[in-house]
Chains A and B, each alone.
Chain A
Amino acid sequence: MKNKLLDIPKTYYFFGILFLLAVFVQGDFILDIITMTFIWAALASAWNISGGYAGQFSLGHAGFLGVGAYTSTLLYINFEVSPWFGMILGGIIAALFALLIGVLCFRLKGPFYTLATIAFAELVFISSTQLRDITNGSMGLQIPFETGFINFVFEDANTYAILSFILMFVVFLISSYIKNSKIGYYLIAMREDPDAASSLGINIKFLKLFATSLSAFLTAICGTFLVQYILFIEPANFLMLSISIKIAMIAIVGGMNLPIGPVLGAILLTPLELLLRGYTSEIAGLHLFIFGLILLLVVLVQPKGLAEISWFKNKKVLRWNGVKQNETKRDIA
């Protein structure tokens, strides 16, 4: 008989440590870093479902993020609807948008799909700045600081860290479940060779729609978490192209083939960004410059992402790549 504790996949220990960080760490700045890291990890994992597994490189996820955040915020401010409910509704609206884009752009490949998603996110951006009566334009909306569970506003910074941990963990579980399910294999088959996959009876259209709408749904939910955490929303901090790029970048730098990749990417990049922004604020743009350089180097040198560098692969934490632990299953990509 093996020790029961060893049967638990190593990744759960990894997440366990992250959870302990969220519970016990004190100090506003470091908790801010932890919370933001978890939210961005969730966002990148959500992107990865369509961007990584299905190979649909979207640079329009800021659009979904904004749709989710604006839906819950507007419902809460105008009609006192709890953000928990608004969050689900925002997710559904974002998923419907994704369905629409998916149906329209079904045939587009590679950079052209990317361009169409950019155009979509720009349309959402322009609408949110122009519909001033509803969204207050570029002035933005403030969420009143009335604490309470129903209001999704908390006094204690640890609560946010724990909630964002749960968000990240749930998105991670969904992502790794998909990766190891039949759908995951179909998605990767479709990414590698759509014609061959189609000829083997895989319904490509359904798969693409499924992947993008699930990804959009989860992204919108992250949007509500993000807006409830910073309690302020304006088009510039939710809908800019740079936000879409950051979401995709975290997943790509971390590694798109493994569910843990985006989490790893967020753990590497988000603290780096916040620290650079905090300590080099007199040099505006330095953190973006470094990010651009990192992105460029990673896709040139290691397009599979850092999680697949052998050093990381040898760490047992990352060798496990799914909920269903199965040694014989090898990543077919």
Chain B
Amino acid sequence: MITQLILGGILLGGVYALMAIGLTLIFGVMRIVNFAHGEFVMCGMYIAFFLYSTLQIGPYYAILIVTPLMFAIGWLLNEILIKRLIGAEHVTQIFVTVGLSMMLTSGALMIFSGNFLRVQTPMTTKALDIGGGILVGLPQLIAFVISMIVSAFMFVFLKRTMIGKAIRATTQNRMSSTLMGVDIKKVYAFTFAIGTALTGLSAALLMPMYPVFPTIGVNFVLMTFVVVVMGGLGSIPGALLGGLIIGVIETISAYYIDPGWKQAVYFSVFILLLVFRPQGFFGQIGAEEL
């Protein structure tokens, strides 16, 4: 049983890690805490649902549409709104994205009403027996594999490409990278768009597993913050590890304690982390001080 739970948790955690990588990138580069990150996932899920219900495009094919679309939305939002927040006062930095998340949630409520919408494909209920009586849901497995491939791709992208290097340089020192000729505005726009595109990708991967409803974003945003703080702000390996750990904590506490309490467990972990190790596993010390 415990193997089954841990495996389930890891598979779930893969998708969490993907969302968290987006958030941690945005934070690391722009020093902006994006409270609307979960609402972006919600938007992505609605787009995936819309594509399925009108054009019969399955969620896995929808990845190819949702991800670029969310990239464009992220770029646009950065141009209109987010770039004004860099270096702004705390109150502006926090409450602009809080206001944005209110608008997205209520906008979804106005368009789609509060019903739970889900995508039912033949694949959603399929489970594989991987030996020893351990069952693995097919959507979970696909989501995990794709998440891991994309995370590895992101890691290589940041290490090897020129824009990736510019992003990492900006994370380390904004001033020096400007002096070295990094076009910092482009880096910001690109980072925010990538972070948003990753929420679109995770949304499409989540769609076969979860129903979508307007307030689903809150659950994701808080969970993602727990992951990001756990892994260390701005660290991709940290987000990956944090995501897997939170996934495992979630399935185990849901089984042994009570599904209703599972969030309480990771919020407690979160508060303890903020108190005792605010820099997380791989974070730079002092990064949380902004």
Binding site for B on A (CB under 8 A): 55, 57, 59, 104-105, 107-112, 114-116, 118-120, 122-123, 126-127, 129-130, 241-242, 245, 248-249, 252, 256, 283-289, 291-296, 299-300, 303
CA distance A285 to B102 in the complex (A): 9
- The residues in B between 57 and 102 inclusive whose CB is less than 8 angstroms from any CB of A are 81, 84, 88-96, 98-102
CB-contact partner of A104 in B94, B222, B261, B275, under 8 A: B275
Decide: A299 near B113, CB < 8 A? Known: A104-B271, A115-B225, A256-B91: no
Residue contact A292 to B109, C-beta cutoff 8 Å:
no
25 residue pairs bridging A and B, Cβ less than 8 Å apart: A105-B274, A107-B278, A108-B274, A108-B278, A112-B33, A112-B229, A112-B278, A115-B225, A116-B274, A119-B222, A123-B264, A123-B267, A123-B268, A130-B261, A284-B110, A289-B107, A292-B100, A293-B103, A295-B102, A296-B95, A296-B103, A299-B91, A300-B92, A300-B96, A303-B89
A256, B229: Cα distance in complex, Å? 29
Number of A-B contacts (CB under 8 A): 136
Interface residue? B8 (CB, 8 A):
no
B13 within 8 A of A: no
Given A127-B264, A284-B109, the answer on whether A119 and B270 have CB atoms closer than 8 Å is yes
Are the C-beta atoms of A116 and B271 separated by less than 8 Å?
yes
Question: Measured between alpha carbons, how far is A119 from B273 in the docked complex, in Å?
Answer: 12
Using a CB–CB cutoff of 8 Å, the interface residues on chain B facing chain A are 33, 81, 84, 88-96, 98-103, 105-110, 113-114, 214, 218, 222, 225, 229, 258, 260-261, 263-264, 267-268, 270-271, 274-275, 278, 288-290
Taking each of A55, A114, A283, which has the highest tally of chain B beta carbons within 10 Å of its own beta carbon?
Answer: A114
Contacts of A296 in B (CB 8 A): 81, 95-96, 99-100, 103
Name the B residues within 8 Å of A241 (CB-CB).
Answer: 218
- Asked if B91 and A303 sit within 8 Å, CB to CB, the answer is yes
CA distance A240 to B106 in the complex (A): 15
A126-B263 in contact given A115-B225, A292-B101, A299-B96 (Cβ < 8 Å): yes
Instruction: Decide: B222 and A122 in contact? CB cutoff 8 A.
Output: yes
- Contact in complex: A303, B274 (CB < 8 Å): no
Contacts of A109 on B, CB cut-off 8 Å? 288-290
Give the top 4 A-B pairs by smallest Cβ distance, nearest first. Answer: A292-B102, A296-B99, A285-B109, A288-B106
Complex-state Cα separation, A202 to B93, whole angstroms: 27
B33 touches A115 (CB 8 A): yes
Interface centre among A118, A284, A292, A294 (most CB of B within 10 A): A292
B256 to chain A, nearest CB (A): 15
